Structure 1
Amino acid sequence: MASTQLPNWAWDLVIALIAHEDEHAQGAPCFGSALAAVPAEVRAQAEAIRDYVRQSPCGVIGEESDETWAQLQARLVGLLRQP
């Protein structure tokens, strides 16, 4: 698989969307349509990055990244709910 060059914020966004989908039940109001627009190669790479970060030594990076994703999700939800 060739590496896709994206800015860090784009990777963070895709990983946050994947995490949201993983944490919520099928059929729940979610970002599924946004995630469906992400190319399969980018999604696969984002999942690999997420899994690598979660398995970091002592879980420090994993814990920090989980907190970052939660904050990003909260911001996204807030933005989507604005009129």
Structure 2
Amino acid sequence: MRGGGPLIGGKKTAACPVGIALGATWNPELVHEIGQSLAREALDRGAGVLLAPTINPFRSSLNGRNFENYAEDPFLTGTLANADVQGL
């Protein structure tokens, strides 16, 4: 969740690891818990859309936003994406 932060009068937000860092844990329970946390924060802020992490495997290592994906491996990505969606 993005926020302006306390320096410019915005709300404080939780800082969660990016998708690729979560993928490196191979831990669906952790991803589920983070999904729940993001859902609570989104509801608190009245947000209707979450833009990351993305849940489709990236196709090129030249893509500049690969860090938002869980992994190159489709099985791992699917497992973690399922945990994320269930948590949300």
Say yes or no: TM over 0.5: no
Which structure has more relative contact order (CA 8 Å, sep 6+)? It is: 2
* TM bracket, shorter-chain basis: 0.3 to 0.5
Q: TM-score, normalised by structure 1?
A: 0.33
Q: TM-score, normalised by structure 2?
A: 0.32
